[in-house]
Structure 1
Amino acid sequence: MSTPHFLAVALATALALPAQAATYAYISSPNDGLISQYQLDESTGAPTLVEQTPAGSKVNPMAISPDGQVLYAALRVAPFSVLSYRIEPKNGHLEKLGQAPLADSLAYISTDRSGRFLMGASYGASLLSVQAIDAEHRVSDKIDVYKTGPIAHSIRSDRSDKFVYAANLGTDSVLQFSQNKQTGALTPIGSGAAAAPAKMGPRHLAFSPNGKFLYVVGELSGTVVGYAIDASSGALRQVSEAQSVPASLKLAEGLIRNAANNDLKDDPTPRIWAADIRLSPDGTLLYTTERTTSSVSAFKVEPSSGALTFIGNFPVAEKQPRNIAFFPSGKWLLVTGEKSAVIGSYAVAKDGSLKRVGEAPSGDGALWIEMWQSPK
């Protein structure tokens, strides 16, 4: 075969192959005010630092619009605000679009499933907030505020986009609302909350892919609780409970922390300090992070019943792991460490065990992870 003909055949073959979507991760680091962009290799699990975007002091929680066009990032220093960045479809580059005020310092932000509302939870101010997002992805200056019990920690809409749930750490409860999809207004469902075990400290939330269950991790106890979601009313009913912190870690009950003493420097007792919770894309595995011991725990999930079975606890190289996130394939897990100079990626075995396979430089105090895939 002649060289020109060979090249022509090769080119035609390449063009005939389906385009592969590139996978990226955005990670905020509040200590240096950066949002770091990483390209993720789905064949090896390796992360590669692409670029770092200066966002501002104490950039922390982030959210990506459901259409994948915009990244929102909240600043937790006064004047509290949310930045919006257009995501370049070809390479994931961030270009600043705008900025809007926030109700207070928000520990968590998310959008509803339609992308029409930005929602937030404030740890210090004990409130939830809702702001409209227009067709150009601009966040409204008008803020609707809902006071909660002490320490609202996270807020997310369910997969049906009819209901909104918020973890309230200080009251050991999960707040439950229906949402008006025209105004964004939140209306309590029933009593307004589902109880959690005493001294659990509900922190972060995760929904099963089938939309039937909500899982919550307790910062103070390491407990993971599963709730069934009533498809009609949105009311929660507890169906499972499991412990993510084995006795072998020798940790005492956690304590509520504040900005002035987040690391409990005046308390020498090693204590439970759970952080994040994530479900695998197929809904069969669940992982949580524990910061004091720099470890990740794994559970097997029964998708039809919501039942949890503890698999094991695995140490990670990233010190004080905050957030974790699955690659879209579910084969790899990305881990950030608030006191680590690198982020790490881990192969997820069929039995749920983890093996570290790659790393990349991180920003200072890396914590929040948002995954994004380029259009095919």
Structure 2
Amino acid sequence: MAAHAYIGSFTTAGGLGIAAARVDPGTGALTVLGHTADVPNPSFLTASADGRTLYAVSETAPEGSAAAFSLADPAAPRIIGEPVPVRGGAPTHLALHRGHLITANYSAPAGVTVLPVRPDGGLGESRSVLLHEGGGPNAQRQEGPHAHAVLPDPADRWLLSADLGTDSVRVCELDTKSGELEIERELGLRSGIGPRHLTFHPDGGLLYVMNELDSVITVCRFDAATGSLRPLDEVRVLPDGAAGENFPSELVVSPDGRFAWAANRGHDSIAVLGVSGNGERLELLDTVDCGGAWPRHLTLDPSGTRLYAANEHSGGVAWFDVDPDNGIPKQVGTLELPAVSCVLFV
């Protein structure tokens, strides 16, 4: 069980920046130990495999940045050097891939930035930016490209990116010598669907695309040898008759691949999905209250038995015990924090 969690938030909306919290192994409760606001709007976080370095986007426009933090003192993340510009607007997501930090930049110039990771864990100047092109039918949300997420495949060979504006998922290969990303495949999804986030099934052969503009998950077969994607199915994350606007944000899958959970912003719920057919079929089983408003992020603790929701608008992280038999989360606690956007266990 991870001893610490790190909570990103929007400083421009009153957030603390990055809060470090102790995790109670028995109850899952979070206790804030300290925080840093060295970069504005650290809305998404990731960490090195050895747990020594934390990485954050700084979601600002017209140009955002990324920063590295030492976790030598887990209660007090310390920035390494200066934030590094990503040469793109409003980076919303990031991932480590083959010795580099990759960011997805939502606003113009939208695309994917490659930053080298130095031996000390710090970041070097950007090596390349792969600009996205295109748009979609939603005039308000798809007037141009909006890269929203980046994710390496389980073998760390391919780099996948979801673009909400172009209704597509790109599969790229990184040249580690030049730092350039080359698009090998681009999967066009249904027009107006708005892909936001990406999650692999534990077996690595299926990719789930969480679509923000139509409240559905697209299930895709993934070929690790060629990087190709083939859509298989779509599954709604709202119950029949649900009213009002809804913008799903995050999707997580249980370590055993039996259940998945999606965050519904607007409906303010967590969709519980059963997974069958070796991951090819998803079925909406239930929705439960998210414990707040506007759940921007979901994550499981390392044990896979507790689910955490970062509720941005109500300002807090809610945690849930997950029933191992039916996958239903039951809320057991909340930590009040303003404008939260991401929870990461290290």
Determine the C-alpha separation between the residues in 2 that align with 1:171 and 1:54. Answer: 33
Show the counterpart of 1:244.
Answer: 237
Instruction: Using the TM superposition, name which of 278-287 and 300-309 deviates more.
Output: 300-309
Show the counterpart of 2:130.
Answer: 146
TM-aligned CA distance change 1:165 to 1:128, over 3 Å = same
- Letter in structure 2 aligned against 1:299: L
Show the counterpart of 2:255.
Answer: 281
Kindly indicate whether residue 66 of structure 2 is the aligned counterpart of residue 86 of structure 1.
no
Determine the C-alpha separation between the residues in 2 that align with 1:33 and 1:143. Answer: 30
Kindly indicate whether residue 154 of structure 2 is the aligned counterpart of residue 170 of structure 1.
no
Show the counterpart of 1:23.
Answer: 3
Determine the C-alpha separation between the residues in 1 that align with 2:70 and 2:209. Answer: 31
Determine the C-alpha separation between the residues in 2 that align with 1:319 and 1:305. Answer: 30
Show the counterpart of 1:254.
Answer: none
The answer (yes or no) to whether the contact 1:33–1:55 under 8 Å persists in 2 is no
Kindly indicate whether residue 286 of structure 2 is the aligned counterpart of residue 306 of structure 1.
no
The answer (yes or no) to whether the contact 2:2–2:345 under 8 Å persists in 1 is no
Kindly indicate whether residue 331 of structure 2 is the aligned counterpart of residue 356 of structure 1.
yes
Q: Which has the higher contact order (CA 8 A, sep 6+)?
A: 1
**Going by fraction, where is strand more abundant, 1 or 2?**
2
The answer (yes or no) to whether the contact 1:33–1:58 under 8 Å persists in 2 is no
Residue 171 (structure 1) shift: 1.6
Residue 239 (structure 1) shift: 2.5
Kindly indicate whether residue 208 of structure 2 is the aligned counterpart of residue 223 of structure 1.
no
- Letter in structure 1 aligned against 2:306: W
Show the counterpart of 2:96.
Answer: 111
- Letter in structure 1 aligned against 2:146: I
Determine the C-alpha separation between the residues in 1 that align with 2:188 and 2:183. Answer: 14
User: Percent sequence identity over matched residues?
Assistant: 25
Determine the C-alpha separation between the residues in 2 that align with 1:184 and 1:41. Answer: 41
TM-aligned CA distance change 1:302 to 1:178, over 3 Å = farther
Instruction: Using the TM superposition, name which of 39-48 and 337-346 deviates more.
Output: 39-48
Aligned residues, how many? Answer: 327
Residue 305 (structure 1) shift: 4.2
Residue of 58, 61, 73 corresponding to 2:56: 73
TM-aligned CA distance change 1:92 to 1:160, over 3 Å = farther
Determine the C-alpha separation between the residues in 1 that align with 2:54 and 2:162. Answer: 23
Show the counterpart of 2:296.
Answer: 322
Show the counterpart of 1:5.
Answer: none
TM-aligned CA distance change 1:343 to 1:204, over 3 Å = same
Kindly indicate whether residue 90 of structure 2 is the aligned counterpart of residue 122 of structure 1.
no
TM-aligned CA distance change 1:145 to 1:303, over 3 Å = farther
Determine the C-alpha separation between the residues in 2 that align with 1:247 and 1:308. Answer: 16
Show the counterpart of 2:187.
Answer: 194
The answer (yes or no) to whether the contact 2:86–2:126 under 8 Å persists in 1 is no
Residue 74 (structure 1) shift: 1.8
Determine the C-alpha separation between the residues in 2 that align with 1:184 and 1:370. Answer: 27
Show the counterpart of 1:134.
Answer: 118
Show the counterpart of 2:86.
Answer: 102
TM-aligned CA distance change 1:219 to 1:369, over 3 Å = same
Determine the C-alpha separation between the residues in 2 that align with 1:180 and 1:59. Answer: 28
Residue 41 (structure 1) shift: 2.5
Q: Counterparts of 1:39-54 in structure 2 under 5 Å?
A: 39-54=22-37
Q: Counterparts of 1:200-211 in structure 2 under 5 Å?
A: 200-211=193-204
Give SS of 2:214's match.
Answer: coil
| Runs of 5+ consecutive residues of structure 2 not aligned to the other structure | 134-144
Residue 142 (structure 1) shift: 3.0
- Letter in structure 1 aligned against 2:124: S
Q: Render the CA deviation track for 1:303-324: whole Å, top value 9, x for unaligned.
A: 7243212211111222111101
Determine the C-alpha separation between the residues in 2 that align with 1:130 and 1:303. Answer: 36
Give TM-score, length-normalised by structure 1. 0.82
Structure 1 vs Structure 2 CA RMSD: 1.8
TM-aligned CA distance change 1:142 to 1:214, over 3 Å = same
**Going by fraction, where is helix more abundant, 1 or 2?**
1
Q: Render the CA deviation track for 1:154-185: whole Å, top value 9, x for unaligned.
A: 11111111111111111211111122344442
Residue 59 (structure 1) shift: 2.3
Determine the C-alpha separation between the residues in 1 that align with 2:9 and 2:38. Answer: 9
Determine the C-alpha separation between the residues in 2 that align with 1:36 and 1:108. Answer: 18
Determine the C-alpha separation between the residues in 2 that align with 1:286 and 1:343. Answer: 19
The answer (yes or no) to whether the contact 1:208–1:303 under 8 Å persists in 2 is no
Give SS of 1:304's match.
Answer: helix
Structure 1 stretches of at least 4 aligned residues deviating more than 4 Å after TM superposition: none
Determine the C-alpha separation between the residues in 1 that align with 2:2 and 2:153. Answer: 27
The answer (yes or no) to whether the contact 2:113–2:126 under 8 Å persists in 1 is no
Give TM-score, length-normalised by structure 2. 0.89
Residue 33 (structure 1) shift: 4.6
| Runs of 5+ consecutive residues of structure 1 not aligned to the other structure | 1-20, 251-269
Determine the C-alpha separation between the residues in 2 that align with 1:201 and 1:50. Answer: 37
Determine the C-alpha separation between the residues in 2 that align with 1:108 and 1:124. Answer: 12
The answer (yes or no) to whether the contact 1:281–1:328 under 8 Å persists in 2 is no
TM-aligned CA distance change 1:88 to 1:248, over 3 Å = farther
Determine the C-alpha separation between the residues in 2 that align with 1:86 and 1:38. Answer: 15
Determine the C-alpha separation between the residues in 2 that align with 1:283 and 1:183. Answer: 37
